[in-house]
Amino acid sequence: MSHMNEPTPPPSPLDPNKGLPAVVPPSGRHIVQLFLIPGLIVAGAVTILLGFSWLAGGNRTPEQFLKNIDSTNADVRWRAANDLAQVLKRDDELAANVDFALKIAERFSRALDELERAERYLQDAGADPKDQAESRKSLVAQRNYVQYLAASLGNFSIPVGAPLLCDVAANGRGTDEKLRYTVRRGAVWALANLGEGRKRFNRLPEERRAAVLRDLEVAAAGAGIASEWAKVALAGLKGESIGVIAALAICARDPRDIFLREQTAHALIFWDGTPEEQRLAEETLLLLVRDVGAGHNDRIELKDGE
| Residues 127-141: tens digit of each pLDDT | 677 878 888 888 889
Res 46: pLDDT: 47
* 82-109 pLDDT, tens digit each: 999 999 999 999 999 999 999 999 999 9
Res 122: pLDDT: 84
Res 239: pLDDT: 87
- Pick the residue with more confidence: 176 or 252? 252
Side chain identity at residue 300, one-letter code: I
d(CA 302, CA 22): 71
* Model confidence at 274: pLDDT above 60: yes
* 184-210 pLDDT, tens digit each: 999 999 999 999 998 999 999 999 999
For the chain, percent of residues with pLDDT exceeding 70: 76
Q: What is the mean pLDDT of the chain?
A: 84
Q: Kindly give, in sequence order, each residue whose CB lies less than 8 Å from that of residue 69, ignoring residues fewer than 6 positions away.
A: 77, 80, 81, 84, 104, 107, 149
What would the mean pLDDT of 165-171 be, rounded to a whole number?
97
* Model confidence at 51: pLDDT above 50: no
Res 56: pLDDT: 43
User: Which residue, 268, 39, 73, is CA-closest to 169?
Assistant: 268
Q: 169-178 — which CB contacts under 8 Å span 24+ positions?
A: 169/247, 169/248, 169/250, 169/251, 170/247, 170/250, 170/251, 173/112, 173/115, 173/116, 173/146, 174/115, 174/116, 174/119, 175/119, 176/119, 177/300, 178/300, 178/302, 178/306
What would the mean pLDDT of 171-179 be, rounded to a whole number?
90
Answer whether 169's CB lies under 8 Å from 260's CB: no
pTM above 0.85, yes or no: no
d(CA 79, CA 57): 15
In the 8-state DSSP scheme, what is residue 3? G
For the chain, percent of residues with pLDDT exceeding 90: 60
Q: What is the largest CA-CA distance in the chain?
A: 123
| pLDDT range class, residue 37, cuts 50, 70, 90 | low
- Pick the residue with more confidence: 303 or 287? 287
What would the mean pLDDT of 234-245 be, rounded to a whole number?
94
